[in-house]
Amino acid sequence: MSGEGCSDQLYCREGSSFYTAIDSDIRGSGPADRDPGRGLCPDVRTLDSLASRHCALCELEQAVMKKNLITILDLSVEEIDILLARASLLKEQWKKGELKPTLAGKTLGLLFDKPSTRTRVSFEVAMYQLGGQVVFMSSKETQLSRDESLQDTALVLSRYIDGLVVRTHTDDNLQELARHAEIPVINGLTDLYHPCQVLGDILTIREKKSDLRALHVAWVGDGNNVAHSWINAAARLDFRLSLACPAGYEPKKEILQRGQELAGDRIHFGHDPVQAVRNADVINTDVWTSMGQEEERQERLAAFQNYQINADLVREAKSEVIVMHCLPAHRGEEITDEVMDGPNSAIFDQAENRLHLQRALLDWLLGG
């Protein structure tokens, strides 16, 4: 089905609509029984009508026009399902060498304050694979370093590029850029949240465990930005989340409280890592000392000693548990070599899926 005449290629792009993904991944229908027009308005199933009319979904998307991803709570359950289905579909196309240049002529900006390996490379590669271009900007090499306002920066960049990924320290800076930008803004990491990481992790869990909503996910370690995004994910999706953090290193109270208000007793917080991982389907961790916390390193090493992901702790979970780490890892600190390289590890599949999730995200937000 052609998308000619339809301004929203998210739903109507030939051969790659989100509803193809929904049919196969969410509804479970296969090619043999799929109605090519399913998901579209009944009278929008021919090339002639497509040339003259918009489907209701396209009109809805047009009304929104600009959408940001600042936290996972910016997404509805349906949007998360669609995004994951799209990521899976594009991953299959990538494996077969069948990706289409759906973002040809588009340019993505990366505005980074912090060092990056996975976030930068996965966004750049995803954009190139979809036919687009990338402009990387270190904030210290822009006029932001000479006190140009975030508002003016956002307004100017909106005239040059089609979307902006921001990796910065304070969430306030990201929010200010998003407020004034006329293009989609994506959170590539702040000190408060890391939504793309957790969405990619959910894709990995879905591949290995099927329905996330029936699972018990454990977080062991620092109550940091990734933990905050897991709390938001549990608030949005129906899975059980147990967090164990040392005293003084808990998630922010307001984020945990909001998550528990939304999720009820599905989110549990404590200080005992054994209790958190007992009968877990997934164990998640992160470094004990994040970027900008280097001066706290020795203090943190002492505080986190009982929170290492090692073979003894993994044995408290289900035998088929998968172990995840958002990387970079400090082997021998928060996780042992035995676990990281062992049969339960999904860590490098997890890292790869950042590419596939973000490819789908870009296709959605920039692909109109």
Q: Which is the catalytic residue, given 118, 120, 300, 354?
A: 354
What is the Cα–Cα distance from 103 to 162, expressed in whole angstroms?
10
Q: Which is the catalytic residue, given 286, 325, 356, 363?
A: 286
Q: Which is the catalytic residue, given 54, 194, 300, 356?
A: 194
Q: Which is the catalytic residue, given 167, 228, 266, 359?
A: 167
What is the Cα–Cα distance from 137 to 126, expressed in whole angstroms?
17
Helix (H) or strand (E) holding 255: helix 253-263
The verdict on whether 354 is a catalytic residue reads yes
Local structure of 274: helix, strand or coil:
helix
The verdict on whether 326 is a catalytic residue reads yes
Q: Which is the catalytic residue, given 6, 55, 245, 326?
A: 326
C-alpha distances out from residue 285 to 12, 133, 291, Å: 39, 33, 15
The verdict on whether 197 is a catalytic residue reads yes
Structure tokens at 274: 């054994």
The verdict on whether 55 is a catalytic residue reads no
CA-based R_g, the chain, Å: 21
Please name the residues in contact with 43: beta carbons below 8 A apart, sequence gap of 6 or more: 49, 53
What is the Cα–Cα distance from 140 to 169, expressed in whole angstroms?
13
The verdict on whether 286 is a catalytic residue reads yes
The verdict on whether 167 is a catalytic residue reads yes
Q: Which is the catalytic residue, given 197, 308, 350, 358?
A: 197
Sheet holding 240-244, edge to edge: 267-270, 240-244, 216-220, 282-285, 322-325
What are the catalytic residues? 167, 194, 197, 286, 326, 354
